[in-house]
Structure 1
Amino acid sequence: MPHLGADVAAYVDGQLSDSAMRDAVTHLQTCDECEKAVRQQRLLKSRMSTVTTPGPPPALLASLTELASVPPQREGWWTRLARSAPFRAGVVLVSASLAVIGAAYVVGGGAERMGDEVAPPYNRYVEDFEGRSSARPGDVITAAAMDDLSEYGWACHDVLAGDLRRVSGAFADGTEVIALSYSDGVSRLNLFEQAGALDTDRLDGFRPEQLGRSQVWVRHSEPMVVTWDDDGTVFTIVTDLPVDRVERAVDELPGGSQERGMGERVSDGLDRMSAWIGAA
């Protein structure tokens, strides 16, 4: 049987015919290239399953519903004086614009945590870092595959914190975790990424801290462990770097709970509101 090629996604989704599925299973037993393509497709599907369109906040829906029940105000003399069409159109336009901007600011302030809660095996990650783990190394991720993963939202940087170069990459825990190793020849940093939201109830020994622009959880030990989530991905760093260089590395990765300015909040809110209108 030839390589799966364009049928990789159909195989992962179970959309092939019974005979084609059997042929594919047989082929995957002897073809490393197709087996890796299937693994990568499953990882991508896991990533995309955490991305959802946020719904409107209940408070906003309630306030919009109440607008129809508010009785009209009695007109004052100045309202009757300013009955010209241009004046009324201007007032309506300004009021509507301010209302939309205000609603967008409120909506844009909500940061949803996407995906199932996960608790990374921090102690095993430390054992891996120190070379004390007997676990079998994961399947190697090629440089080309890392480029593809980066396009799909996984942070597989070539360099971190200025001069930490990526020396290896592998799938760990089956296909659930991307494990990357960086080094400058003296210090090392291991980075683990998996789909989901961080289970903050299982962070014994960690404390919340602000590193650069991100709110993270830190366990000050040897080596240092830092973990956080962002946009449906949990990141964990294990390293012997000093804190200032760890902060730089965190800043170069997708950040958690970043403080945004008014313009960014309004822009994000308008995007969410447009999504709601499009889905209605």
Structure 2
Amino acid sequence: MPHLGADVAAWVDGQLSDAAMQEAAAHLRECDECEKAVRQQRLLKSRMSTSSAPEPPQALLASLAHLAAAPPRSEAWWRRLTRAAPFRAGLVLAGAAIAVVATAYAVGSPERVGDEVAPPFERYVAEFTGPSTSGTGGTITAATMNQLDSSGWPCREILAGDLHRVSGSYTEEGEVIALTYSDGRSSLNLFEQAGVLDRDELSGFERARLGGSDVWVREGMPLVLAWDRDGTVFTVVTDVDRARVGRAVAELPRMTHESGPTERVTDGLTRMSSWLGAA
């Protein structure tokens, strides 16, 4: 059988006929090139599955439709004042404004889309300091790494000015992209996988600001960093000096900053506007 070629996506999605699926399966057992193409397609598909825009909750849309509810009646000497149309209109507007701000604050928190994952930090460190103890899913060619880079998986040829990409491979049964960078003296290992970082598994890590990004850091030699962005978890294990580590982090996708109240309300209002515009 010839290479799968354009049928790679159909094979991954199970859209080939039974006979074609069996023939393709037999071919994949013997062809490393097609097996790598299938693995790459699965990685790209998992990346795309986490990028869908969140739908606004139905309860939120229903509450927005009833924001301008009439205020309760006041008692005693307030009665005459509350019968004044300007005063009552002001109360309605103030209540509506407070409700909108509260709702915006609630929906303005950063989105973290994807399944939680806990990178095997100890194994990554062991492989950095000694021989590799885990099998890989195969070496990634330079052309494939460049294609992955253009498809949303950062596989930069150079990081921090002088750390050159020297190798790339699939690990964890093809679910993780592992990249090695070096300047000839120091090294930086970068791991990328689909999902969001499981923060309950960050024992020994502290939140820090590095390279303009919020990251989780475990001090030591080697230094270990972890963060997530847009459905991808990034792990770095390195003995590179701190300044260049910061430069490398700055050149990779940055973790969403947990904003303060004002930024959160602003972000929430932006999202609500987009939802209402799409309704």
- Alignment TM class, shorter chain as reference: 0.7 to 0.9
SS state at 2:66 partner: helix
Q: Which residue of 2 aligns with 1:40?
A: 40
- 1:134-153 aligned at under 5 Å gives the runs 134-153=133-152
Between 1:227-236 and 1:129-138, the stretch displaced more is 129-138
Between 1:157-166 and 1:137-146, the stretch displaced more is 137-146
* Match status 1:180 vs 2:179: yes
Equivalents in 2 of 1:154, 1:104: separation in Å? Answer: 34
Q: CA deviation at 1:174?
A: 1.2
Cα RMSD after superposing both structures: 3.3
Read off the aligned partner of 1:219 and give its amino acid letter. R
Between 1:199-208 and 1:260-269, the stretch displaced more is 260-269
In structure 2, the gaps of 5 or more residues are 72-82, 90-96
Structure 1 residues 70 and 264: alpha-carbon distance in aligned structure 2, compared to 1, 3 A threshold: closer
Q: CA deviation at 1:2?
A: 1.9
Q: Which residue of 2 aligns with 1:67?
A: 67
Between 1:45-54 and 1:267-276, the stretch displaced more is 267-276
Deviations 1:235-278 (A, max 9, x none): 00000012221111111110112377999996896477436754
Q: Which residue of 2 aligns with 1:87?
A: none
Q: Is the 8 A contact 1:8 1:37 kept in 2?
A: yes
SS state at 1:67 partner: coil
Equivalents in 1 of 2:215, 2:84: separation in Å? Answer: 54
Read off the aligned partner of 2:43 and give its amino acid letter. L
Q: Which residue of 1 aligns with 2:92?
A: none
* Match status 1:223 vs 2:234: no
Q: CA deviation at 1:69?
A: 3.5
Equivalents in 1 of 2:179, 2:248: separation in Å? Answer: 13
Percent sequence identity over aligned pairs: 57
TM-score, normalised on structure 2?
0.80
In structure 1, the gaps of 5 or more residues are 80-97
Equivalents in 1 of 2:264, 2:156: separation in Å? Answer: 25
Read off the aligned partner of 1:163 and give its amino acid letter. D
Q: Which residue of 2 aligns with 1:210?
A: 209
Structure 1 residues 236 and 28: alpha-carbon distance in aligned structure 2, compared to 1, 3 A threshold: same
Deviations 1:93-151 (A, max 9, x none): xxxxx9xx989985884311111100000010011111243323441111111122112
- 1:1-280 aligned at under 5 Å gives the runs 1-56=1-56, 61=61, 63-67=63-67, 69-70=69-70, 75=85, 109-258=108-257, 270=270, 273-274=273-274, 277-278=277-278, 280=279
Q: Which residue of 2 aligns with 1:91?
A: none
Read off the aligned partner of 1:217 and give its amino acid letter. W
Q: Which residue of 1 aligns with 2:74?
A: none
Between 1:33-42 and 1:125-134, the stretch displaced more is 125-134
Equivalents in 1 of 2:144, 2:103: separation in Å? Answer: 38
Read off the aligned partner of 2:32 and give its amino acid letter. D
Read off the aligned partner of 1:111 and give its amino acid letter. P
Structure 1 residues 276 and 179: alpha-carbon distance in aligned structure 2, compared to 1, 3 A threshold: farther
Structure with more relative contact order (C-alpha pairs < 8 Å, separation 6 or more) = 1
Q: Which residue of 1 aligns with 2:75?
A: none
SS state at 1:169 partner: strand
Pairs aligned (count): 259
Q: Is the 8 A contact 1:56 1:276 kept in 2?
A: no
Between 1:123-132 and 1:174-183, the stretch displaced more is 123-132
Q: CA deviation at 1:65?
A: 2.7
Between 1:116-125 and 1:142-151, the stretch displaced more is 142-151
